[in-house]
Amino acid sequence: MINCLTLCVALSMVVGCTWAAATVDELADQNRSGPMLGCHKRVFTYRVSQTDNKGRECWDHVSVWSCHGRCDSNEISDWRFPYKRSHHPVCMHAGRTRSVAVLRHCHPDADPEAKLYEYMEPKSCSCQTCTSMDTSCEGPKQLNTDAVTKIFQIEEEEIENLKALIFPQQNPSRLWDLALFFAAV
């Protein structure tokens, strides 16, 4: 208690007593709730869109609870190959619940099913060994970037060149240039 009081007095000399008292209270609340870097639930907001079978779209911004944070991991040396025993838990859900969001921005003739967006939320979060049955466990090195759609920015002056490559009315050899262009990207 003396340390908190000393901190409050020192901060009140510099900044002001009301701000210091609020800061000390906030720090005390954070210490009671546990470390902020651990595994916990956090709200993320996504832009979600969904189309019906006729291509009419519904969209909205949906706030979703998700697991976030870090877990302590370790490796112990071992005399057998691969000469270590690894324990690398990840922050993941400990139970899930199905949730439904109603998308507000819809095409006037969209089917009612397109307005309902289903997703999963965690009941709680904990550090566990990752199971690929219901979680994506791959690290960045294991992701296949060749199978991913690449997005690139095109300057306005390059648009005309691309149009000429895509629609070669006079020169059919331009198709080969187009293939080389997209292979390089």
What is the mean predicted confidence (pLDDT) over 159-180? 54
| Distant-in-sequence, close-in-space partners of 172: CB < 8 Å, separation ≥ 6 | none
Q: Are 90 and 67 in contact (CB under 8 A)?
A: no
46 by DSSP, 3-state: which?
A: strand
CATH number of 35-134, picked from 3.30.750.24, 2.40.160.10, 3.10.20.310, 2.10.90.10? 2.10.90.10
Q: What are the structure tokens assigned to 44, written together?
A: 């993320």
Q: Is a pLDDT exceeding 80 seen at residue 112?
A: yes
Residue 111 DSSP symbol: -
- Distance CA(20)–CA(22), nearest Å, equals 5
With tokens 């701000």, the residue in question is: 19
Confidence of residue 74 (pLDDT cuts 50, 70, 90): confident
15 by DSSP, 3-state: which?
A: coil
- Distance CA(68)–CA(43), nearest Å, equals 9
What pTM value is reported for the model? 0.51
Residue 131 DSSP symbol: -
User: Which is nearest to 123 in space by CA: 183, 45, 66, 53?
Assistant: 66
Is the previous residue joined to 82 through a cis bond, with omega within 30 degrees of 0? yes
- Distance CA(38)–CA(69), nearest Å, equals 5
Domain ranges (residues) in the chain: 1-34, 35-134
Write out pLDDT tens, residues 28-69: 444 445 446 789 999 999 999 999 999 999 999 999 999 999
Q: Is a pLDDT exceeding 80 seen at residue 88?
A: yes
> How many CB atoms are located within 10 Å of the residue 93 CB?
20
Residue 56 confidence (pLDDT): 92
Residue with the bigger pLDDT between 86 and 18: it is: 86
User: Which residues pair with residue 79 across a beta bridge?
Assistant: none
* The total number of residues written for the chain in this structure: 185
What is the mean predicted confidence (pLDDT) over 118-127? 93
